[in-house]
Amino acid sequence: MVGALLVILLLGGVVWLVSGPLRRPPEPPEGRDTGRAGLEAAREAKYREIRDAEMDHRTGKLSPEDHERLDRQLRAEAIDILRRLDELGPEPRRSPPGSGSV
């Protein structure tokens, strides 16, 4: 009897948990992914690469000339990413983390 009650409780808890999003008013279908998040991640990776090159220069792995050339190249690539981000327009307001989803 107690066992059956525990099973029902567990089942109820699971149903409550997974059906939570379905009990909310339906959201409009998500638009096509614009790739903004990917570009933002690429931008961060490129910035990190610029910092790494600077570090390589400071620790003697890159000569001043090599660093200057590499830095120019990396910055040009970063600017290209920023331009592509600008082309996407202003960032749409994101739903706050955790609003309706965990």
Partner 1 sequence: MGASLGRAALILALGVCVYGIGAALYGARTGRREWVDSGRRSVYALALVLTVCFAIIEIAFLRSDFSFDTVAGHSSTTTPTFYKAAAVWSSQEGSLLLWVWLLSLWSSAAIFITRNALRDVVPYATAVLLGFGAFFTGLLAFMATPFGTSSPAPVEGVGLNPLLRHPSMMIHPPMLYSGYTLFTIPFAFAVGALVVRRVDAEWIRAIRRFALAAWLFLGIGVLLGARWSYAELGWGGYWAWDPVENASLMPWLIGTAFIHSIMIQEKRGMLKIWNASLVLATGTLAILGTFLVRSGILQSIHAFGASTLGVPFVILIGLLVVGSIYLIVSRREVLRSEHHLDSLLSREAVFLLNNLVLVGLCFVIFWGTFFPLISEAVTGSKASVGPPWFDRYTVPLTLVLVLLSGIGPVIAWRRATAANARRNFRIPAVFGLVTLVVLVGVTGDDRKPWALGMFCCAAFVVGTVGQEFYRGIAARRALSGESPVTAAVSLVSRNRRRYGGYTVHLGMALLFVGVAASSAFQASRDVRLATGQGVDVGGYRYTYVRQTASVIDDPKRTGSILDLGAVVDVTRGGRHVTTLYPSRGYYPAPDASQGPVGSLIGGEATSHVGLKAGLRRDIWSAIEPDIQALQPLIDKGNRVVPAAHPDVALVVLEAIAQHYRDSAPPAQFRLIVSPMVTWIWLGGLIVLGGGLIAMWPPPGRRVRARYLARVGRDLKRAPTTTAV
Could you say which residues in the range 11-70 bind partner 1, by CB under 8 A?
A: 11, 13-14, 17-22, 24, 26-27, 29-30, 33, 35, 37-42, 44-45, 47, 49-53, 55-56, 58-63, 66, 69-70
Could you say which residues in the range 68-97 bind partner 1, by CB under 8 A?
A: 69-70, 72-73, 75-79, 82, 94, 97
Residues in the chain: 102
In whole angstroms, the minimum distance from the beta carbon of 93 to partner 1 comes to 13
Q: Which 3-state string (H, E, C) describes the chain?
A: CHHHHHHHHHHHHHHHHHHHHHHCCCCCCCCCCCCHHHHHHHHHHHHHHHHHHHHHHHCCCCCHHHHHHHHHHHHHHHHHHHHHHHHCCCCCCCCCCCCCCC
CA distance 79 to 27: 36
| Short-list 27, 28, 36, CA closest to 92 | 36
In whole angstroms, the minimum distance from the beta carbon of 25 to partner 1 comes to 9
In whole angstroms, the minimum distance from the beta carbon of 84 to partner 1 comes to 12
Q: In the complex, which residues of this chain contact partner 1 (CB under 8 A)?
A: 2-3, 6-7, 10-11, 13-14, 17-22, 24, 26-27, 29-30, 33, 35, 37-42, 44-45, 47, 49-53, 55-56, 58-63, 66, 69-70, 72-73, 75-79, 82, 94, 97-98, 100-102
